[in-house]
Amino acid sequence: MTTLADFRAGLEPYLVHLGARPFVCAGSPLACRSFVVGLNAATALDHHFSAYWSDETGFDRELFLNHYRRLRKRAGNRPVVEAISRTLGSCIETNLYAVPTRKARELTLADRERPVIEYLFRSIKPRAVFVHSNEPIEYFARQTGCGDFVSQPRQVTWHGHAFWILGRRGPLYTLGLKGGAKYVAELADLANSS
């Protein structure tokens, strides 16, 4: 079984930028069974990821949220991501890329060379993945060979692991909190029954 220290060591290549944010969760990412996946973080934090990490307990979500709310003036997608995470339960909020940029077009080719999602997926093997935004949806469609998971959850395989996937195009904040939770309710049921 992988330890949190081993997991963190595998994450190091994705932490080259000061504000890199490979994921957010409460405690051990190894205990998470669902992912919420976007493109990349819009807010660069003024702390290295290690400020939120412990090899004994995992990720300190509360400390992260305190720093995040201090820096981020607009709520953006975060409240809806949190509502979706609560519905899915035991969840990692992550992105294809760990490098934060204000706009997606600011991601360089170098930033896109090593998607952190591949390391997280292979390490954790989630039961359910909710993907939002066009580029992450297209990425998962290429990787899984299934392009029809926007309208309803589908069971797919990637890296030899079967899981349920659901996607939504467009900005999440347009769903609202209740709409976000409702959108993923079936996915949550499928993941919890697997």
SS3 of the chain: CCCHHHHHHHHHHHCCCCCCCCEECCECHHHCCEEEEECCCCCCCCCCHHHHEECCCEECHHHHHHHHHHHCCCCCCHHHHHHHHHHHCCEEEEECCCCCCCCHHHCCHHHHCCCHHHHHHHHHCCCEEEEECHHHHHHHHHHHCCCCCCCCCEEEEECCEEEEEEEECCCHHHCHHHHHHHHCHHHHHHHHHC
State pLDDT tens for residues 133-157.
999 999 999 999 998 999 899 999 9
pLDDT tens string 77-117? 888 999 999 999 999 999 999 988 888 888 788 878 889 99
Model confidence at 31, in pLDDT bands (50, 70, 90)? very high
Please state whether the predicted TM-score (pTM) of the whole model is above 0.75.
yes
Query: pLDDT value at position 135?
Result: 93
Q: Which band of pLDDT confidence, cut at 50, 70 and 90, is reported for residue 159?
A: very high
The reported pLDDT for the residue numbered 70 is 85
Q: Answer whether 45's CB lies under 8 Å from 90's CB.
A: no
Find where tokens 């954790």 sit.
124
Which tens digit of pLDDT belongs to each residue from 33-75? 999 999 987 777 888 999 999 999 999 999 999 988 888 777 6
Amino acid at the residue 190: L
Tell me the two tokens of residue 193: 């029954």
pLDDT digits (tens, 9 = 90+) for 165-192: 999 998 888 898 899 999 999 999 998 8
pLDDT at 7: 97
Question: What does the domain layout of the chain look like in residue ranges?
Answer: 32-43+76-193
Average pLDDT over residues 18-31: 93
Strands 161-168 and 128-132 come out as parallel
Could you tell me which of 159, 149, 144 has the C-alpha nearest to residue 186? 149
Res 16 pLDDT > 90: no
**pLDDT at 1 (0 to 100):** 61
Let me know: does 170 contact 135? Beta carbons within 8 Å.
no
Q: Does domain 32-43+76-193 have CATH number 3.40.470.10?
A: yes
- CA dist 25 and 82 (Å) reads 10
Quick: pLDDT tens for 109-135.
887 888 999 999 999 999 999 999 999
Neighbours of 160 (CB within 10 A): 7
